[in-house]
């Protein structure tokens, strides 16, 4: 396996070029399908991508700051404190140096972040399994059924980019960079804690390995780690300490802002009826689908989807994926499947769990190129049509 840690950035970018070009082609196909479908329904594709659903909440934070809330007739309170600040900060920054509105600035950020995410996914997969698997992993991420979200003013692409590059820097032994990227991921979405968990798990595993090899003396242990290609203690420790600062800092700030202490953010999420119940509410939601025949088909589809997700994770474990990838994908999957509300958003919440795609990427990479291209092309066409249908309908919850 080639060690990418010694490669300068330009060769790594050139190495990723086929993956990025393929990714751009898939996303362009999705945008063309969305444009045609929206025009036929007399809707604005640009508005659907930049100024609907959660995008409006992020734009409002960028424009007015925090403090806006909506009180629903049932008593629920939807506060914009539920939305982490990195995307609004970037929207404000881009809008300040361009003539773009906050909404369109968010679309620019999302588009650039999606390319950075694709590059990061390639870097991770290439480092672990080689270039061909890296290209296939990026294409599979692009053709996900809800892949159109990658082209929206949403946080999925931004978070995936930060998470992927944080994981890559962990795999290549750059702990401080990994911690900084994890801190920014924690300012993007609550699931940023998955990146923190991955870094902490990798640090513990690295320390255990070095303790088994090194003498008892701390100074000799550091010298032994360096001689064996390990990492001195201080960069790893600093990376571990930096990683949670983004998420913890924002959660504590919300607690101070609401006057409810460290758990104030949980109260904000409760106003949106978000929580973690181990999957009970989702299981009940699926079971309710079997009360009639048409909805039973949807229920069966949900069960198959969950089973496939769990199966892919088991395959990742059996194939011996690096520990940081397993921890990250496991936490993202658990948080997505065990959240107590917004059941329709679960495919979108699973999107950052890209290590789950690596077994499929390995299988696709093992096929002949014409067959792989035909499979990816067919799935991309279906994904483009589905994305156009989805955004012109209920859209992302």
DSSP-assigned beta bridge partners for residue 79: 69
Tokens of 366: 């093992």
Torsion of CA 217, 222, 226, 229, to 10 degrees: 80
Look up tokens 């990816």; give the residue: 376
Could you tell me which residue, 159 or 340, shows the higher pLDDT?
159
CA angle at 88 for the pair 83 and 91, rounded to the nearest 5°: 155
Give the pLDDT confidence of 24-39 residue by residue, as tens digits. Answer: 999 999 999 999 999 9
- The more confident residue out of 250 and 212 is 250
Question: Could you tell me how many residues make up the chain?
Answer: 397
Nearest to 357 by CA among 327, 313, 394: 313
- Mean pLDDT of all residues belonging to the chain: 91
* Rg (the chain; Cα; Å): 22
Q: Report the C-alpha dihedral over residues 255, 258, 263, 266, rounded to 10 degrees.
A: -120
Q: What is the pLDDT of residue 289?
A: 83
DSSP code of residue 177:
H
Report CA torsion sign: 22, 27, 33, 35. negative
Binned at pLDDT 50, 70 and 90, residue 327 comes out as very high
CA distance 92 to 66: 13
Instruction: Give the pLDDT score at 231.
Output: 62
Q: Could you tell me the two tokens for 67?
A: 């403090």
Q: How far apart are CA 339 and CA 337, in angstroms?
A: 6
What distances in angstroms separate CA 144 from CA 116, 153, 271, 302, one per listed residue?
Answer: 17, 17, 30, 16
Strand pairing partners for 77? Answer: 71
Residue carrying the six token digits 């973690």: 276
What sign results for the dihedral spanned by CA atoms 376, 381, 386, 388? positive
Residue 353 pLDDT > 90: yes
Q: Among 49-63, 206-220, 286-300, name the one with the lowest average pLDDT.
A: 206-220
Query: Residue 285: exposed, middle, or buried by beta-carbon count in 10 A (0-12, 13-18, 19+)?
Result: middle
Beta-bridge partner residues of 276? 339
**Are 182 and 149 in contact, with CB atoms under 8 Å apart?**
no
Q: How remote is the C-alpha of 376 from its chain's centroid?
A: 21
What letter would DSSP give residue 276?
Answer: B
- Domain boundaries of the chain, sorted by first residue: 15-273+371-391, 276-340
State residue 229's pLDDT score.
Answer: 42
- Residues 96-121 have a mean pLDDT of 97
For 70, phi then psi, to 5°, come to -120, 130
Distance CA 41, CA 34 (A): 11
Torsion-angle region of residue 76: left (phi > 0), alpha (psi -120 to 50) or beta? beta
219: tokens are 């100074």
pLDDT at 171 over 90: yes
Chain centroid to CA 20: how far?
17
Confidence of residue 221 (pLDDT cuts 50, 70, 90): very low
Q: How many CB atoms lie within 10 A of CB 279?
A: 16
> What DSSP letter does each residue of 149-192 carry, written as one string?
GGGSSSSHHHHHHHHHHHHHHHHTT-HHHHHHHHHHHHTT-GGG
CA atoms within 13 A on the CB side of 114: 26
Quote the percentage of the chain above a pLDDT of 70. Answer: 93
State how far the Cα of 141 lies from the Cα of 243, in Å rounded to an integer.
25
Which two structure tokens, joined as six digits, stand for 301? 């589809």
Q: What is the dihedral sign for C-alpha 280, 281, 283, 288?
A: positive
Say whether 146 sits in a helix, a strand or coil: coil
């Amino acid at each position: 396996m080639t060690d990418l840690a010694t490669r300068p950035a330009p060769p790594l970018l050139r190495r990723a070029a086929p993956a990025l070009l393929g990714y751009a082609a898939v996303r362009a196909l999705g945008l063309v399908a969305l444009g045609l479908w929206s025009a036929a329904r007399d809707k604005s594709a640009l508005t659907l991508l930049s100024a609907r659903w959660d995008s409006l909440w992020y734009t409002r934070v960028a424009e007015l700051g925090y403090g806006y809330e909506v009180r629903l007739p049932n008593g629920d309170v939807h506060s914009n404190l539920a939305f982490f600040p990195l995307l609004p900060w970037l929207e404000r920054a881009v809008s300040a140096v361009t003539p773009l509105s906050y909404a369109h600035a968010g679309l620019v950020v999302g588009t650039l972040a999606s390319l950075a995410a694709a590059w990061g996914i390639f870097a991770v997969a290439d480092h672990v399994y080689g270039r061909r698997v890296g290209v296939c992993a990026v294409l599979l991420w692009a053709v996900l059924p809800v892949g159109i979200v990658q082209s929206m003013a949403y946080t999925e692409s931004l978070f995936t980019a930060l998470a992927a590059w944080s994981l890559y820097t962990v795999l290549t032994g750059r702990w401080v960079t990994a911690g900084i990227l994890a801190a920014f991921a924690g300012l993007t979405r609550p699931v940023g804690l998955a990146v923190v968990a991955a870094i902490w798990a990798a640090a513990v595993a690295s320390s255990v390995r070095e303790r088994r090899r090194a003498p008892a003396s701390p100074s000799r242990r550091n010298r032994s780690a360096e001689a064996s290609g390990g990492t001195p203690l201080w960069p790893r420790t600093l990376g571990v300490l930096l990683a949670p600062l983004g998420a913890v800092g924002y959660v504590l700030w919300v607690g101070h802002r609401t006057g409810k202490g460290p758990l104030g953010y949980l109260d904000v999420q409760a106003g949106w009826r978000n929580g973690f119940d181990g999957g009970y509410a989702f299981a009940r939601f699926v079971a309710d689908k079997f009360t009639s025949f048409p909805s039973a088909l949807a229920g069966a589809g949900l069960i198959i989807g969950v089973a496939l997700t769990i199966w892919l994770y088991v395959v990742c474990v059996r194939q011996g994926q690096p520990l940081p990838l397993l921890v990250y994908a496991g936490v993202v999957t658990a948080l997505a499947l065990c959240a107590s509300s917004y059941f329709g958003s679960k495919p979108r919440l699973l999107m950052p769990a890209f290590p789950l795609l690596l077994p499929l990427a390995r299988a696709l990479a093992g096929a002949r190129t014409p067959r792989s291209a035909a499979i990816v092309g067919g799935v991309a066409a279906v994904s483009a049509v589905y994305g156009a249908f989805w955004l012109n309908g209920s859209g992302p919850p």
